[in-house]
């Protein structure tokens, strides 16, 4: 698989909200990009002994955003890492994008000082799992970069 060149960090507006959402959107796109062109069952195939897989990472990040910003409770965090057989790749990506859009709306209407910690946590969590996704994708088919 050819190596793709990485995309640099985003250019954002000067305001704190613009910077935080700009980096969060950048990382969200990186996670989704790791699923592009990878079919079944590879997108669900664990790449490490813990069982972590690309589709599970996207599903987990959907729950993370819903929990921290939309106040949706999660009773079993481990379960959020596993897509069910009835959940398609398109369904999980669509749910993640819908959560992203809703979170962005809440942030746009909110006080950045009240959301600063939460947004920083979302950036950290998404960045961490984007790194996991990089490794899983390279293990799956050799693809690197964005």
Which residues, including other chains, have CB under 8 Å from residue 36's CB and lie 6 or more apart?
none
Residues making up the chain, counted from first to last: 146
Note whether 112 and 104 are within 8 A (CB): no
Q: What is the DSSP string of 26-52?
A: HHHHHHHHTTTT--TTGGGS-SSTT--
pTM listed for this prediction:
0.93
Q: What is residue 7's predicted lDDT score, i.e. its pLDDT?
A: 75
Q: Which residues lie across from 144 on neighbouring strands?
A: 3
Q: How is residue 10 written in tokens?
A: 């985003």
Tens place of pLDDT for every residue, the chain, 146 residues?
456 667 777 888 889 999 999 999 999 999 999 999 999 999 999 999 999 999 999 999 999 999 999 999 999 999 999 999 999 999 999 999 999 999 999 999 999 999 999 999 999 999 999 999 999 999 999 998 77
């Amino acid at each position: 698989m050819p190596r793709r060149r990485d995309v640099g960090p985003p250019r954002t507006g000067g305001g704190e909200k613009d910077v935080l959402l700009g980096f969060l959107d950048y990382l969200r796109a990186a996670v989704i990009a790791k699923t592009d062109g990878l079919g079944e069952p590879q997108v669900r195939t664990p790449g490490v002994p813990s069982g972590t897989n690309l589709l599970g990472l996207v599903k987990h990040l959907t729950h993370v955003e819903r929990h921290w910003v939309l106040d949706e409770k999660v009773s079993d965090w481990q379960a959020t890492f596993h897509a069910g057989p009835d959940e398609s790749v398109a369904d999980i990506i669509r749910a993640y994008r819908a959560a992203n859009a809703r979170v962005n709306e809440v942030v746009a209407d909110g006080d950045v000082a009240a959301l600063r910690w939460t947004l920083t946590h979302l950036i950290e969590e998404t960045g961490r799992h984007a790194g996991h996704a990089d490794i899983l994708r390279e293990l799956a088919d050799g693809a690197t970069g964005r």
